[in-house]
Each structure stands twice: as structure tokens, then as C-alpha cells.
Structure 1
Amino acid sequence: MVKKNVAPKVKRAEKEKGLLVRNFPPRLIKAMADEVAKIVVERLPKLIPTTKQKGQKIRKKSIQDGVFLDTSAIIDGRVFDVINLGLISGVFVVLESILLELKHIADSKDVVRRERGRKGLEMLEKLKKNRKTKVVILQNSEKMEVDEGLIREAKIYKGRIITCDYNLEKEASISGVLAININTLANVLKVTAVPGEAIHIKVLHRGKDLTQGVGYLDDGTMLVVEQGSEDLGRDIDVIVSRVIQTAAGRILFAKKI
């Protein structure tokens, strides 16, 4: 049996391929290579998801309707009453940075500050034990200032912030994050008094003007009574003369009947 010599044919085929490639213009070869590279780059992330992409998906799905509690709101305490009334609902989120700040406050040398910090931690613990509410302790995704980190995480999870800090409220608003200020909420819920309305009040102390007397409504609104200093410690009837709105809330001015 005679063996056929295939080597010349193989060499001839390889030579023809080489000639075929050489016949393509360099620009065309470069364009084809670029096109192949683009296709690979576009398809590769879809075929092999990165860890970061997976993490982002998990982060977004892990918390729905997040309510991020700020340190100021926690130590203030009123937010827990609002939550217990069911006026604020969702998943209550406490960042690790907020928790750490709370612990620092609870260890403060200042007696009042220390007491408020410890009270805040106690109320937070009660909220966690409440079966009707869900509390999540969340690790910060990046190291940064407490307020900046709070706004960042709330934005990532598309959540809301509960605070008593006016500056934080404004910063969050600029960043496109809804921030509910407990102080603003309290002012909205205060009793509305209009000029000409009669009020029965107890004069507790003098005002800035020595002739003025100062009393307070049940909701804490200050009422300044003209010529009321002579009635210190007594209950009197007055008529509201004007109402002034300040950053701290409303102040009523009244005259004795």
C-alpha cells in the first residue's frame, strides 16, 4: 500500500491562508479587531457578574421602605412615641456609625448628655424587641462623617431620614433624600391660636421686658402677656393679640382681659 504524502498539501493550505490574510488591508484588519473587542467587552459583564454588581443588587433588595434614624432623633426620644402610634412605618434602620455615636454619648462626662444617650439606647432596644416593628443594624458602606454617611445610605436604599437636626434636614433635602424633622412635626401639631382668641393661662415668670409675664400652653407654646408681671403665679384670662413664627416655633402675645 502506497502512503500518500499529505505534508505538501498542509503546507500549501497554510501558505494560502497566509496569502489571504496578507491581502486584507491593515486598516480593515484593525477595524475587525476593534469590533471583536467591543463585542467581548459588552458581553463579558453579563456572562460573569462582578462581586460589586451582586452586592448592589442585594443591598437594594434587602431593605424596603427604610426609615433611617439619626442620633439626634434617638436621644430626643419623641420619635419612639410617634412610631408606637403607627404614624411612621417601615423598616427602621440604625447605622453602625450612629450606634457608635450613641455609645459615646452614653459614656459622656456630661450628666445630662450621658442620661439622654443611655435613654436613647434603652428606647432603641425596646423598639428592637417590639414584634410589630423591624429594626436593622446596618454597616456603613464607606467610612465618612456620620451625617454624610447617613444621607449616603438613605439615598442608596431610597429611604427616609428621621432627625431633630435642622442642618441635616437641609443637607438631605439638597441630596434628594426626604428627611422628617421631629421638631417640625411637633410644631405642625401644636394648637393653633389666632388673634382675638381668649385663653386661660398661668403666668410663670417675667419676660424680657420686666412688665411682661410668660406662660405656656399645654403643647409648650410660649405666651407672653403684656403687663403680666404683676400676676406671677396666678391664673388669668387673656386675649391673643398677635402670633410670631420663629425658627424655634410660635410665640403668642396676649393682653389681659
Structure 2
Amino acid sequence: MLGSQKASFFKPESLPGILRARGTASSPQVEGKLLDTSVLIDGRIADICEAHFLDGPLLVPQFVLHELQMIADSADSLRRQRGRRGLEVLQRIQNMQTLEVRIIEDNPNTSNEVDRKLVELALRLRARIVTNDFNLNKVASVQGISVLNVNLLANAVRPAFLPGEGMRVFILREGKEANQGVAYLEDGTMVVVDGARRLINKTVDILVTSVHQTPAGKMIFGRIDEHGDAAPNVRQAAVGGRSSRSDFSERSLD
């Protein structure tokens, strides 16, 4: 199983599914996109590649691969699961026949921090960085590096809901304010519904009253559509048990 060996004895050749001959190179000859640890653990990068919204070459530095291996060997079960998922996502991307993926040996020795190494490597190779790490995004942008942020892409393609529009949601839990219920859209967007606390674990029709943009994404506010004002144009918009997705950096868990 991936991630079963100790990080101190990490050997690239122990991961044959990842380090195939076609995916290994000492130094890329063309501009590419550097993948960081967080975007591999997050996993959505594989779906984006399958949808042909991201082309290669995709570059995975050895130090990123090593960090994934260390996380996969963690004593903490949650970190271990995330590390193994990151390795599995990388294998999935490499198995895409139309996508070029390279494991590169370049390892800047000016710092032991993975983020700093990524920034230096991006400057050296004139590559973009693909991430969903907020801090790495900021640091790289300040230094003039082009960043492809998966969270920003997700926010950009979320469906638009306008005040007065109807939707059908599953009330998952109570809200912060009295009598509020909370639901989530399939993309993780939070929907706060007035008068829905008594309807937890039920599917209800609501009318959108406002949409607020926050640093973490959009929040939708609504009220119960007691008179069926939105029918029959109500949109099936949410599912039960889905929680909001926020910026994630595995290194922030240390």
C-alpha cells in the first residue's frame, strides 16, 4: 500500500506506480505547472484534468512527493489518510494518457520549507504553481509567479442564485441565530435558512433573499417558501451531509 514505508527510508523506486519512466525527468525543457502538496491531497485536481481544463506538463518535485510520503506515514490517522489520498491522486493523474506528468529532481537547497522551495523552483523554471494554499498563493503572487488556485476556480464555476429564486435544500443542522437552519449546496456553499430550525433532516423549498460574498466563498440566505411562490421553477440545489470546503494546507496541521 502506498505510504506504508517509513519516511526516513523513503525511496522513489518504492513507488513504481508513481515514478514510471515516462513520468520522470531531471529538468523540464518547457514551461510547466508545479503541483504543491495541498492540491494533491485535496484531490479535485484530478477531476479538473479529466475535464481537460488543465494541460501539461504537470511537474511534481521530489520534495513534494517526499512530503506526501511523510504525511502518509504519520501516526495521526487523519493525516495518514490525507497523505495516502494525495499519492493516489497523483497516480490517477499519471494514468491519464493524454496528460504529461513529470517527477522532477530539482531541489533548491536555500530553504527546508516546501513552500519556499516551490516559489524558488517556479522562478527558476518560469513555471506556474497549482495550489489551494492561501498563503502560498499570496507569497507566489507577490513575486510575480502565476498561480492557478483550485479554490478560486471552484468559486468561479459555482451556479448563480438570485434573490427571489427558489431552490430545494436539505436542512442539515441548526444555525447560529435563533430559528435558523443550515443546508449546503453540492459544491459546499452554505445556505442559511430563516425559520428552518424545526425542519432539520428534512428537504424543503426556500426562496433566496440575499447572496453574500465572503473570503471563503459565497453564502446564500433564504426563507421557507411556505406558499409555493417559486414552484414549479424550484431548483434541486443541495444534498444532505455535505459540509463547506475551505482553503486547506496540510502543513497548517503541523
User: What TM-score does the superposition give when structure 1 sets the normalisation length?
Assistant: 0.73
Please give the per-residue CA displacement for 1:112-163, whole angstroms capped at 9, x wherever unaligned. Answer: 2111111211221232243322221112342122111111111221111110
What SS does the aligned partner of 1:220 have? coil
Which position in structure 2 is the counterpart of 1:48? Answer: none
Q: Please, which of 162, 165, 181 is the counterpart of residue 133 of structure 2?
A: 165
How far the C-alpha of 1:97 sits from its partner, in A, is 1.1
The Cα shift of 1:220 comes to 2.0
The TM-score with structure 2 as length reference comes to 0.74
Please point out which of 84, 88, 102 is paired with 1:122. Answer: 88
On the 8 A contact 1:204/1:215 being kept in 2, the answer is yes
AA matched with 1:101 = E
Q: Which has the higher contact order (CA 8 A, sep 6+)?
A: 2
Aligned partners of 2:99, 2:65: CA distance in 1, in Å?
Answer: 18
Match of 1:221 among 189, 192, 198: 189
Q: Which residue of 1 aligns with 2:168?
A: 200
Q: Which amino acid aligns with 1:227?
A: G
- Residue type of the alignment partner of 1:231: L
Aligned to 2:77: 111
In structure 2, the gaps of 5 or more residues are 1-25, 226-254
Evaluate the alpha carbon distance shift between residue 237 and residue 134 of structure 1 in structure 2; reply closer, same or farther with a 3 A threshold.
same
The residue type equivalent to 2:90 in the other structure is L
State how far apart, in whole Å, the 1-side matches of 2:142 and 2:76 are. Answer: 33
User: Separation in 1 of the partners of 2:38 and 2:114?
Assistant: 12
Deviations 1:150-189 (A, max 9, x none): 1111122111111010110111101111111111111111
1:46-80 Cα distance to aligned partner (Å, 9 max, x none): xxxxxxxxxxxx95xx4313010000001111001
Aligned residues: 198
Which of residues 84, 101, 107 is equivalent to 1:135? 101
Q: State the alpha-carbon separation in 2 of the partners of residues 249 and 132 from structure 1.
A: 32
Kindly indicate which of the two structures has a greater share of residues assigned to helix: 1
Change beyond 3 A, Cα 1:78–1:208: same
Task: Determine if contact 1:69/1:94 at 8 Å carries over to the other structure.
Answer: yes
Separation (CA, whole Å) in 2 of partners of 1:234 and 1:131:
44
Contact 1:205–1:214 (CA<8 Å) still a contact in 2?
Answer: yes
Q: How far apart, CA to CA, are the structure 1 residues paired with 2:220 and 2:32? A: 38
* Match among 179, 195, 199 for residue 231 of structure 1: 199
Q: Is the 8 A contact 2:183 2:190 kept in 1?
A: yes
1:152 aligns with 2:116: no
Q: CA RMSD in A?
A: 1.6
Structure 1: gaps of 5 or more residues: 1-57
Q: Is the 8 A contact 1:95 1:140 kept in 2?
A: yes
User: Take 2:137 and 2:84, find their aligned partners in 1: how far apart are those partners?
Assistant: 24
